[in-house]
Amino acid sequence: MTNSNREIFLDKIATKAGRPRHQLKNHPFVPINDLPESTLAGKSQDELLELAQKNSEAVHVTFEKTNRSSLSALLNDFLSAKDINNLILPTCDKWTTFGLSDWENKLVDSAEFWAPESSRTENLAKANAADGAIGFADYLLAESGTITVATTPGQGRGFHFLPTHYLSIIPKSHILSRSRQAMRKYEAAITSGRLTTSNINFITGPSNSGDIEMVLVVGVHGPLDMTYVVVEDL
Amino acid sequence: MTISTSDKPFLTRVKESENDHFMQQSVAKAQDAQWDKRTAAREELGNWEQWRDLGEQIRQHVIKYLPDYLEQFSDNVEKKGGHVFFAQTDEQAVNYIKKIAKEKKAHRIVKSKSMVTTEINLDKALLSLPETSIMETDLAEFILQEDNWDEPTHIVFPTLHKNRDQIQNVFKKLGYSGSNDPEEMAKFARKYLREYFMQADLGITGCNFAIADNGMINLVTNEGNADLTMAIPKTQIVVMGMERIVPSLKEAEVLDNMLSRSAVGQKLTSYCSFSGPQVNGESDGPTDFHVVILDNGRSNALGTDFEPVLQCIRCGACLNVCPIYRHIGGHGYGSIYPGPIGAVLSPVLDGYEKFGDLPFASSLCAACTETCPVRIPLHQLLIKHRKVMMDKLKMDHSFNNVLMKGAGVATSSPILFKIALEGAHMGSAPLSKSKETSVDNLFNYGHIEKAPSIASGWTDVRDLARPPKHSDDFRSWYKKHKKEQQEGVSHD
Name the minimum distance, in Å, from the CA of B88 to any CA of chain A.
Answer: 7
Nearest to A6 among B29, B86, B247 (CB): B86
Residue A174 inside a domain? The answer is yes
Query: Which of A112-116, B187-191, B400-404 shows the lowest mean pLDDT across its residues?
Result: B400-404
List pLDDT tens digits, range A148-172: 999 999 999 999 999 999 999 999 9
pLDDT tops 70 at residue B438? no
**Which residue does chain A place closest to B56, by CA atoms?**
A32
pLDDT tops 80 at residue B460? yes
Residue B336 inside a domain? The answer is no
Residue A187 inside a domain? The answer is yes
User: Residue B442: its pLDDT value, please?
Assistant: 66
Residue A77 inside a domain? The answer is yes
**Which residue does chain A place closest to B217, by CA atoms?**
A199
Name the minimum distance, in Å, from the CA of A96 to any CA of chain B.
Answer: 22
User: Residue A168: its pLDDT value, please?
Assistant: 98
Measured between beta carbons, the chain B residues lying within 8 angstroms of A114 are 283
Measured between beta carbons, the chain B residues lying within 8 angstroms of A12 are 88, 295, 299
Of B277, B301, B325, which residue sits at a domain end? B301
Measured between beta carbons, the chain B residues lying within 8 angstroms of A145 are 267
Residue A124 in contact with partner chain B when CB distance is under 8 A: yes
Name the minimum distance, in Å, from the CA of B19 to any CA of chain A.
Answer: 19
CA distance A147 to A134: 13
Structure-model confidence comparison of residues A111 and A234, the more confident one: A111
Nearest to B65 among A24, A204, A208 (CB): A24
Residue B218 inside a domain? The answer is yes
Interaxial angle between packed helices B139-146 and B164-172, expressed in degrees from 0 to 180 and rounded to the nearest 10? 60
Q: What does B231-254 look like in DSSP terms, one character per residue?
A: HSSSEEEEEEETT-EESSHHHHHH
Residue B43 inside a domain? The answer is yes
Structure-model confidence comparison of residues B293 and B1, the more confident one: B293
Closest CA to A176 of A227, A231, A135, A139: A139
Name the minimum distance, in Å, from the CA of A51 to any CA of chain B.
Answer: 13
pLDDT tops 90 at residue A3? no
Identity of the amino acid at B228: L
List pLDDT tens digits, range B249-282: 999 999 999 999 999 999 999 999 999 999 989 9
Asked if the Cβ–Cβ distance from A208 to B270 is below 8 Å, we say yes
Is residue B139 very low, low, confident or very high in pLDDT (cuts 50, 70, 90)?
very high
CA distance B361 to B323: 10
What strands, in cross-sheet order, belong to the sheet with A199-203?
A175-176, A139-141, A146-150, A199-203, B271-275, B217-221, B209-211, B245-246
Q: Do A120 and B284 contact (CB within 8 A), yes or no?
A: yes
Interface test with A, best of B112, B256, B268, B292 (most A CBs within 10 A): B268
Domain extent for A139: 45-231
Is residue B128 very low, low, confident or very high in pLDDT (cuts 50, 70, 90)?
very high
- Rounded to an integer, what is the distance from CA B317 to the centroid of its chain? 14
Is residue B446 very low, low, confident or very high in pLDDT (cuts 50, 70, 90)?
confident
CA distance A217 to A206: 10
Residue B387 inside a domain? The answer is no
Q: Quote the mean pLDDT of chain B.
A: 92
pLDDT tops 60 at residue B175? yes
Q: Say what percent of chain A tops pLDDT 70.
A: 98
pLDDT tops 90 at residue B453? no
CA angle A172, A176, A179 (to 5 degrees): 145
Residue B255 inside a domain? The answer is yes
Q: Say what percent of chain B tops pLDDT 90.
A: 71
User: Residue A153: its pLDDT value, please?
Assistant: 97
Name the minimum distance, in Å, from the CA of A106 to any CA of chain B.
Answer: 26
Contacts of B309 (CB under 8 A, 6+ apart): B301, B341, B344, B345, B348, B376, B381
Helix/strand/coil for B163: coil
User: Residue B456: its pLDDT value, please?
Assistant: 83
User: Residue range B395-404: average pLDDT?
Assistant: 76
pLDDT tops 60 at residue B152? yes
Cβ atoms within 10 A of the Cβ of B184, count?
14
Tally of domains within chain B: 2
pLDDT tops 80 at residue B108? yes
Cβ atoms within 10 A of the Cβ of A191, count?
10
Residue A18 inside a domain? The answer is no
Name the minimum distance, in Å, from the CA of B109 to any CA of chain A.
Answer: 17
Residue B208 inside a domain? The answer is yes
pLDDT tops 90 at residue B151? no
Domain extent for B275: 10-301
Residue B309 is classified by DSSP as G
CA distance A167 to A131: 11
Closest CA to B274 of B331, B199, B215: B215
Interface test with B, best of A140, A177, A213 (most B CBs within 10 A): A213
Asked if the Cβ–Cβ distance from A151 to B285 is below 8 Å, we say yes
List pLDDT tens digits, range B18-35: 898 988 988 898 899 889
CB neighbour burial string for A205-221, b if at least 16 within 10 angstroms, e if fewer? bbbbbbbbbbeebbbbb
Pairs of residues, one from chain A and one from chain B, whose beta carbons lie less than 8 Å apart: 284
Name the minimum distance, in Å, from the CA of B455 to any CA of chain A.
Answer: 41
Query: Which of A99-113, A189-203, B215-229, B384-398 shows the lowest mean pLDDT across its residues?
Result: B384-398
**Which residue does chain A place closest to B30, by CA atoms?**
A214
Q: Which of residues 153-172 of A touch B (CB under 8 A)?
A: 153, 156-158, 160-162
Residue A127 inside a domain? The answer is yes
Tally of domains within chain A: 1
Residue A12 inside a domain? The answer is no
Nearest to B84 among A3, A22, A143 (CB): A3
Residue A186 inside a domain? The answer is yes
User: Residue B489: its pLDDT value, please?
Assistant: 67
Query: Which of A49-53, A209-213, B243-247, B316-320 shows the lowest mean pLDDT across its residues?
Result: A209-213
pLDDT tops 60 at residue A78? yes
Asked if the Cβ–Cβ distance from B224 to A204 is below 8 Å, we say no
Query: Which of A54-63, A130-139, B184-193, B482-491 shows the lowest mean pLDDT across its residues?
Result: B482-491
Asked if the Cβ–Cβ distance from B85 to A180 is below 8 Å, we say no
CATH for A63: 3.40.50.10420
Asked if the Cβ–Cβ distance from A200 to B283 is below 8 Å, we say no
Of B270, B301, B332, which residue sits at a domain end? B301
List pLDDT tens digits, range B72-83: 999 999 999 999
Q: Which of residues 188-227 of A touch B (CB under 8 A)?
A: 190, 196-215, 217, 219-223
Q: Do B342 and B361 contact (CB within 8 A), yes or no?
A: no
Residue A209 inside a domain? The answer is yes
CATH for B131: 3.40.50.10420
Identity of the amino acid at B389: M
pLDDT tops 60 at residue B3? yes
Identity of the amino acid at B203: G
**Which residue does chain A place closest to B258, by CA atoms?**
A36
Q: Which of residues 48-107 of A touch B (CB under 8 A)?
A: 55, 59
Structure-model confidence comparison of residues B435 and A180, the more confident one: A180
Nearest to A210 among B67, B157, B224 (CB): B157
CA distance A205 to A56: 7
Structure-model confidence comparison of residues B117 and B490, the more confident one: B117
Interface test with A, best of B78, B218, B282 (most A CBs within 10 A): B282
Helix/strand/coil for B353: helix
User: Residue A183: its pLDDT value, please?
Assistant: 97
pLDDT tops 80 at residue B172? yes
Of B268, B283, B301, which residue sits at a domain end? B301
List pLDDT tens digits, range A30-47: 999 999 999 999 999 999
Burial class (CB in 10 A: 0-12, 13-18, 19+), B426: exposed
User: Residue B420: its pLDDT value, please?
Assistant: 87
CA distance B256 to B267: 9
Is residue B153 very low, low, confident or very high in pLDDT (cuts 50, 70, 90)?
confident
Interface test with A, best of B159, B249, B270 (most A CBs within 10 A): B270
Interface test with A, best of B246, B255, B283 (most A CBs within 10 A): B283
User: Residue range A188-200: average pLDDT?
Assistant: 95
Cβ atoms within 10 A of the Cβ of B165, count?
11
Residue B393 is classified by DSSP as I
pLDDT tops 50 at residue A2? no
Query: Which of B240-244, B418-422, B438-442, B476-480 shows the lowest mean pLDDT across its residues?
Result: B438-442
